[in-house]
Structure 1
Amino acid sequence: MQAKASPRVRRIQTISLALMVTAGVVNYVDRATLAVATPLIREDLGLSISDMGLLLSAFLWAYAFAQLPAGALADRLGPRLMLTLGLACWSLGQMLGGAVTSFWTFVGARIVLGVGEAPHFPTCARVSRDWFNIRQRGTATGIWNCASSLGSFVALPLLTLLMVNFGWRSMFVAMGAAGLVLAAAIFLVFRNPREVDLTAEERAFLTEGDAPGAAARVTWADWKRLFGYRTTWGMIMGYFGCIYMTWLYTAWLPGYLELERHFTLQKTGLVGAIPFAFGVVGGVLGGRIVDVLVRRGIDPIRSRKIPMASALVATAACTVVAAVTPSDTLAIACISASLFLVYVCSSSAWAMASVAAPANCTASLGAMQNFGGYIGGALAPTVTGFIVKGTGHFSLAFITGAVIALVAAMGYWFLIREPIPEATLGGRVVGGLRAAE
């Protein structure tokens, strides 16, 4: 007989998801402030287009490289503290963005923003592991992961409203202040499992499927040895393709619609939001698919591999059609399908972190995956820009993204074979690239 969640655990799950979704929306709205305010910032600070590109890159590279320590800290300190500290840090970085006076002070503010946002998604993966049964983790992951697309969807109208009425500096400060309030709420409301007096039945429900006697905290040796597994590298490779495709569209969709499809600014603002609405649906559905497959007897690893790899292949196909079709309607439909599919990928990938890693390394493995993803995310805007500059069109840039997605799908499918067992972290590596000493 399968264990069931107690009313208390269900209440904690609901509150946890509400907090993570809200924080995720704020996360993505805060990322968008620079893009929305670009014309006014350039005029106020005298910055060039290339300067703005460097500011975007400053966030992405800081975010990518901060993943590695952020995941280990989330596993060691626990989600409650890391969610609070991360949100407070990125909110302060956002407020600093409203007070900058030069290019280099803005670079510093964007680096603080990137470092602060780095722990968020790996920590959410740890919350899925801590507070949800193995049969629920996919759906939970899909719900909090949809916040990324939902945040992108609401960012343009919300930030434009704030900027038009109060100015771009006040827009930055207001979003930062909202984040600080949310950080305080998370610290006051959220609890780690060890901070709650759980019954034996509740603990059995939450730890079903986990290795017995799992270590409470990750060690440096545990973290380092994760790199010795094919599973880790398959997750890094697959997520590289997923986030490359995500940022291909996130960074360049407005420019594509205006330059390639000759849309007006007003039409771009309206039509450009449509694909991200599909992304919200894909994020939620991706997690749900994972749990349905588990309940039908598919093992937890394959239940993540199947939707992740399949969606990457389908994303590549849709992107190629969008690249070559003369029809604006078909192009928008294919881009909408692509964003739906990449968020299916994203939810499946984050759900993998909750079953592929030992319990004490969930956030660490998720952060390694996210590191690989955001190397792709940092490269996508730059590579696309160079290709468009050289060819005058987006077609080759889209096809390049499709090839990357296909290669990533192959790596994900063939490298990930089994979870990383708890017992081998202190000894022999089973199915890994090498044997641990």
Structure 2
Amino acid sequence: MTTAKTYRGRSTGHSGGLARPRLVTNRRVWGTTGLVIFLYIVNYADKAVLGIIAQPLARELDFTASQIGLVGSLFYLAFTIGGFLAGPLNRYLTLKWALLVVALIWSVVMLPLVLAASFAVLVASRMLLGLSEGPATALMHTAAYSWHPPAKRGLVTALLGSSASVAKIVIAPILAFVTIEYGWRVAILVLSGLGALWAVCWLIGWTEGPHIAKTVEAEDSVPAQATGDASPTQPSVPWRRIFLSRTFVTCALLAMALYALTTVVLTWLPSYFELGLGYTALQAGSLFALPSVVALVTMIASGAITDRLIQRGVGSRVARIVIASAGVLVCGAVLVTLPLIEVPVVAVVVLSLGYGSALIALPLIHSAVSELCPPQQTAGTMGMYLALMGIGGLIAPYATGVVVEHAATAADGYALAFQGVGIFVAIGGILILLFANPERDRLLICRTP
């Protein structure tokens, strides 16, 4: 027999009228969550494509390593700016239409590069891509969280984060093959078609869930004890309380470091494997997936385990913060050895282990930040947090290109860059261990004046 719950409340749109009762089953919860995960996969494939086509672009248009790195950093500059638009978009549009608009934009902005390839067009198209993807990250988390209460968000956040791994495991090798066999322009066209396919599925299948409602009738809502969620009638709190809390600040700093690592991987890993370690272009495109396989396993496992711990009464401080800190400290310890390794296959394994250990932390600290605020402020909170996270991508790709250009060999330059990011990540892990406490800070944030 299928277990279902019906949630009644006011419309989460703008009409203010009563919504129809929502029948919530596991099939519906995970079906709609799957649409968000599908979009996240497309999102990361669009980010990763620059790393895959970087060398063909450089050869055709005579780009230097620092120019490719600059393009990567400018993308994340626009991405950071776009992140601040998540709150306004969620305020004036429903999640369904806000995500549809930004996804359609990023599906077409790279097409001018296909028609008129130049450095200026590459910069403009990647910056427009970053601007449109910036608010999408917070909106995707908000959309997924609308079907999952805070106590059960570790796994869904891990699944969202693992979409990056799926994109690199499944889509990146396909894009590498397409790039080698048919050219980088066809790879961009494939991604645009994938975005259009998602848009059709989204229009047919998406509805907003009961846990992130803009207005809900108190008498018709499910009790907080039953869902693990905060009371939907909880009043809004001043934004400064959220953004200045020790949990928000330290988690944002760690997120910047983790995003710096992620952006260096997305922008430079295939080039490192090809130019630094001596693999062929096709081998490099395939090996691009290996660190993501490790990250996929660690993120899903940590998300599922920490959700279970919280439901058994373990505090969020232990289940999310301490475990996240342990993962990034392992990453720092592993990556600091990378410049000492001369055997290519060992370097690939070490980098994969470091990356996988670090990404344990991402879904956990995302979930911790989502706990801090009342439900109606989730999009704004996650928008600010993820925009700050994007700062890590502003410097890291360009700095890596500069380090590679000035190193004795390409292999030395890439190894030094990954070592530096690993140390940055470990420092962030120490900070959250010392200062972050979601339960404490939520009580302080939601206190009555």
Same fold (TM over 0.5): yes
Q: Say what the alpha-carbon RMSD is for the aligned residues.
A: 3.2
Quick check: 31-40 or 138-147, which moved more? 31-40
Question: Are the counterparts in 1 of residues 77 and 391 from structure 2 also a CA contact under 8 Å?
Answer: yes
* 3-state secondary structure, aligned to 2:150: coil
Partner SS state of residue 18, structure 1: helix
Q: Say whether residues 1:279 and 2:298 are aligned partners.
A: no
Tell me what 2:103 maps to.
87
The amino acid across from 2:268 in the alignment is W
The answer as to 2:135 corresponding to 1:115 is no
Match 1:183 to one of 199, 210, 215: 199
Counterparts of 1:169 and 1:228, CA distance in 2: 45
Distance in 2, Cα, partners of 1:269 & 1:109: 23
Deviations 1:315-368 (A, max 9, x none): 101112333234444332221211211221111122223312221222222222
Matching residue's letter, 2:304: R
Measured in 1, the distance between the counterparts of 2:234 and 2:135 equals 22
1:339 is aligned to 2:355: yes
Q: Distance in 2 between matches of 1:12 and 1:423?
A: 35
The letter for the 2-side match of 1:411 is L
Kindly report which structure 2 residues correspond to 1:348-367, keeping only aligned pairs within 5 A, or say none: 348-367=364-383
Distance in 2, matches of 1:171 and 1:397, equals 28
SS at match of 2:229: coil
Counterpart of 1:433 in structure 2 is none
Offset of residue 25 of structure 1: 1.2
Give the equivalent residue in structure 1 for 2:425.
Answer: 405
- 2:69 is the counterpart of 1:53: yes
Indicate whether 1:385 and 2:405 are aligned: no
The aligned residue for residue 142 of structure 1 is 158
Q: Are 1:169 and 2:191 counterparts? A: no
Task: Report % sequence identity.
Answer: 21
Cα distance, 1:259 vs. partner? 4.5
**What secondary structure does 1:193 align onto?**
coil
Q: Which residue of 2 aligns with 1:372?
A: 388
Compare 19-28 and 390-399 and name the one that shifted more. Answer: 390-399
| Aligned pairs for 1:411-426 within 5 A | 411-419=431-439, 421=442, 424=445
**How much has 1:197 moved relative to structure 2?**
11
Cα distance in 1 for residues equivalent to 2:216 and 2:447:
30
C-alpha change, 1:243 and 1:391, in structure 2 (3 Å) is same
Structure 1 residues 72, 350: closer, same or farther in 2, change over 3 A?
farther
Measured after TM superposition, the shift of residue 278 of structure 1 is: 1.2
Distance 2:360 2:138 in 1: 17
Q: 1:27 & 1:9 partners in 2: Cα distance? A: 27
Structure 1 residues without counterparts, runs of 5 or longer: 429-437
Displacement of 1:170: 3.6
State the distance in 2 between where 1:81 and 1:426 align: 34
- Deviation of 1:417 (Å): 2.2
Structure 2 residue matching 1:131: 3-state secondary structure: coil
Q: CA deviation at 1:94?
A: 3.0
Offset, 1:182: 1.4
* Equivalent position amino acid for 1:210 in 2: A
Distance 1:41 1:270, change over 3 A: closer
Q: Does the aligned pair in 1 maintain the 2:162–2:300 contact within 8 Å?
A: yes
Structure 2 residue corresponding to 1:10, chosen from 22, 26, 38: 26
Deviations 1:252-310 (A, max 9, x none): 33343345444444543443432221122122123113202212321234321022111
Give per-residue Cα distances to partners, 1:362-407, cap 9 Å, x unaligned. 2222222322322112322222333344442244433322321121
Contact 1:322-1:330 at 8 Å conserved across structures = no
Q: Displacement of 1:152 after TM fit?
A: 1.9
1:33 correspondence with 2:53: no
Deviation by residue 1:20-72 (Cα, 9 ceiling, x = unmatched):
22111111111222332334434555544443333222212111221122245
Other-structure match for 1:313: 329
